[in-house]
């Protein structure tokens, strides 16, 4: 109800016409049709940078060098603005890369008569890019002066390696105040998301012929005992982000069918609601380690991220999974996370978004951009305030 009122107040200047709706769908379609699986984002980045230039945006391409990736593959972040980077106060951001495998574009109407678009990246995150650019264009045609404050930043490598976002930190505009990230959140604001860390349980044993197992120590059995012990570990809890969870996601061990294995390894993925060093301390004090078992932190740990939200606007939630907001270190810019569509189909073969979700995404982004830049929407920042707001929304639901 409140959204409708605000949109009415905004007036018809921002109303989405049939033509704008078609441009939104065309942009979304072309983004999906240009594959951009992480580490091979070139096609979608080339398409998008050309598209933005054709619309009159100044486009800067940032080469992202990653020593683990073939340097012959052109990998670039896109930063676009309308006037001067010094004028940019607000960045709209999402990521151009997608998870494998590629899923082709398919537009159809479901049994309820809703138009639905299938394809890799339909919601994570090419739907966000299409909605953000369309919103920025709407603001631009209604208020050219205001639109000079908007920058568009589309980084790559978000699905697991975060190299695009890390690289972009060195090239942010000097007067940045707001940083708005698009991921599929069903247009709810996200007040925080968990951190991410991984460790290995490494079991050692003594090799022996499998016909005489009592002469050896079976590393797979030792590893199995350690994995079962994980269930009794009490992990830290946070008032805002909830329980820290973990899952054994990879396992390997043994080399021959007739040999008692002397090595076995399991990988455990942890989604932590408290700083990673606190969680790691708990894990190392649980008695998992023994003469035969060692636990080793692998991969770069990422702390939970606390975000800014807008007072009395959209519903507020937390998220259990991560984004490349892990990499965003700007000391003063307000960081927000909101986008259209549902994460429930993201990364799946039936990834999709509804046309009406995309269109509503444009409306909500226009509302957020204009509200923040005009000062009619206010942000709330402290963790305590967020906890209260979050609780309030939960009570209402
Ligand atoms: Zn994403």
Length of the chain, please? 397
Distance 208 CA to ligand 1 centre (A): 47
| pTM for this prediction | 0.85
Average of per-residue pLDDT across 29-49: 98
Residue 333 and residue 271 share a domain: no
- CA dihedral (135, 137, 143, 146) positive or negative: positive
Residue 141 and residue 262 share a domain: no
Distance 10 CA to ligand 1 centre (A): 30
Asked if 223 contacts 373 with a C-beta cutoff of 8 angstroms, the reply is no
Evaluate if residue 6 carries a pLDDT over 70. no
Which domain range does residue 226 map to? Answer: 195-302
Average of per-residue pLDDT across 371-390: 74
Question: Using alpha carbons only, what angle is made at residue 154 by residues 150 and 157, rounded to the nearest 5 degrees?
Answer: 155
Residue 309 and residue 161 share a domain: yes
Two tokens at 260? 């008692």
Residue 207 and residue 168 share a domain: no
We report the CATH number of the domain holding residue 249 as 3.30.70.360
Listed in sequence order, the DSSP H helices in the chain are 2-10, 18-33, 42-54, 126-142, 144-147, 163-168, 219-230, 276-284, 355-374, 383-396
Two tokens at 115? 């138009």
Separation CA 336–CA 92 (nearest Å):
10
Between 154 and 300, the higher pLDDT residue: 154
Q: β-strands 208-209, 305-306: how paired?
A: unpaired
Asked if 90 contacts 372 with a C-beta cutoff of 8 angstroms, the reply is yes
Residue 119 and residue 23 share a domain: yes
Peptide bond into 253 cis (omega under 30): no
- CA dihedral (151, 152, 156, 160) positive or negative: positive
What pLDDT, on the 0 to 100 scale, is given for residue 392?
47
What pLDDT, on the 0 to 100 scale, is given for residue 322?
83
Q: Which of 5-9, 35-39, 123-127 has the lowest mean pLDDT?
A: 5-9
What pLDDT, on the 0 to 100 scale, is given for residue 393?
47
Residue 186 and residue 48 share a domain: yes
At residue 1 the predicted structure's pLDDT band, cuts being 50, 70 and 90, is: very low
Two tokens at 78? 């896109």
Separation CA 357–CA 133 (nearest Å):
15
At residue 389 the predicted structure's pLDDT band, cuts being 50, 70 and 90, is: low
What phi and psi, each to the nearest 5 degrees, are found at residue 353?
-145, 145
Q: β-strands 245-253, 263-272: how paired?
A: antiparallel
We report the CATH number of the domain holding residue 85 as 3.40.630.10
Evaluate if residue 15 carries a pLDDT over 70. yes
Evaluate if residue 3 carries a pLDDT over 90. no
Residue 173 and residue 34 share a domain: yes
Average of per-residue pLDDT across 3-11: 51
Distance 347 CA to ligand 1 centre (A): 9
What pLDDT, on the 0 to 100 scale, is given for residue 397?
39
At residue 383 the predicted structure's pLDDT band, cuts being 50, 70 and 90, is: low
What pLDDT, on the 0 to 100 scale, is given for residue 381?
62
How many domains does the chain fold into? 2
Q: Is 158 a catalytic residue?
A: yes
Place of tokens 């999402």: 94
Average of per-residue pLDDT across 79-90: 97
Which residues sit opposite 272 in a β-bridge? 195
Q: What is the SS3 assignment for 330?
A: coil
Separation CA 76–CA 221 (nearest Å):
47
Average of per-residue pLDDT across 232-243: 94
Q: Which of 158, 357, 360, 367 is catalytic?
A: 158
Evaluate if residue 7 carries a pLDDT over 60. no
Residue 313 and residue 245 share a domain: no
At residue 388 the predicted structure's pLDDT band, cuts being 50, 70 and 90, is: low
Distance 346 CA to ligand 1 centre (A): 8
């Amino acid at each position: 109800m409140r959204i409708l009122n605000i949109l009415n107040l905004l007036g018809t200047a921002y109303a989405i016409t049939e033509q704008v709706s078609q441009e939104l769908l065309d942009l979304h379609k072309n983004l999906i049709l240009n594959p951009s699986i992480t580490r091979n984002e070139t096609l979608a980045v080339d398409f998008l940078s050309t598209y933005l230039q054709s619309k009159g945006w100044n486009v800067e391409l940032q080469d992202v060098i990653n020593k683990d990736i073939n340097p012959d593959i052109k990998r670039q972040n896109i930063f676009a603005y309308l006037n001067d980077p010094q004028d940019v106060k607000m960045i709209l951001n999402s990521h151009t890369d997608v998870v494998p495998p590629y899923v082709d574009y398919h537009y159809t109407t479901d049994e309820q008569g809703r138009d639905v678009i299938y394809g890799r990246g339909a919601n994570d995150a090419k739907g966000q890019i299409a909605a953000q650019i369309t919103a920025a264009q709407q603001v631009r045609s209604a208020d050219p002066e205001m639109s000079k404050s908007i920058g568009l930043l589309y980084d790559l490598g978000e699905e697991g390696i975060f190299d695009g976002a890390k690289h972009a930190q060195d090239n942010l505009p000097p007067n940045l105040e707001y940083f708005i990230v698009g991921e599929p959140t069903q247009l709810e604001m996200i007040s925080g998301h968990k951190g991410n860390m991984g460790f290995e349980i490494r079991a050692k044993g003594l090799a022996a012929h499998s016909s005489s197992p009592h002469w050896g120590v079976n590393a797979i059995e030792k590893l199995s005992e350690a994995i079962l012990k994980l269930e009794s570990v009490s992990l830290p809890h946070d008032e805002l982000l909830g329980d820290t969870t973990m899952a054994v996601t990879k396992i390997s061990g043994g080399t021959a069918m007739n040999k008692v294995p002397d090595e076995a390894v399991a990988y455990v993925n942890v989604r932590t609601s408290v700083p990673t060093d606190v969680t790691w301390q708990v894990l190392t004090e649980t008695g998992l380690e023994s003469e035969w078992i060692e636990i080793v932190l692998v991969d770069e740990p990422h702390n939970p991220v606390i975000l800014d939200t807008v007072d009395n606007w959209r519903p507020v939630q937390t998220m259990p999974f991560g984004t490349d907001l892990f990499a965003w270190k700007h000391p003063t810019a307000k960081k927000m996370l909101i986008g259209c569509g549902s994460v429930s189909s993201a990364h799946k073969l039936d990834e999709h978004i509804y046309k009406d979700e995309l269109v509503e995404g444009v409306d909500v982004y226009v509302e957020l951009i204009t509200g923040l830049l005009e000062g009619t929407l206010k942000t709330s920042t402290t963790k305590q305030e967020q906890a209260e707001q979050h609780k309030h929304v939960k009570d209402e639901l």
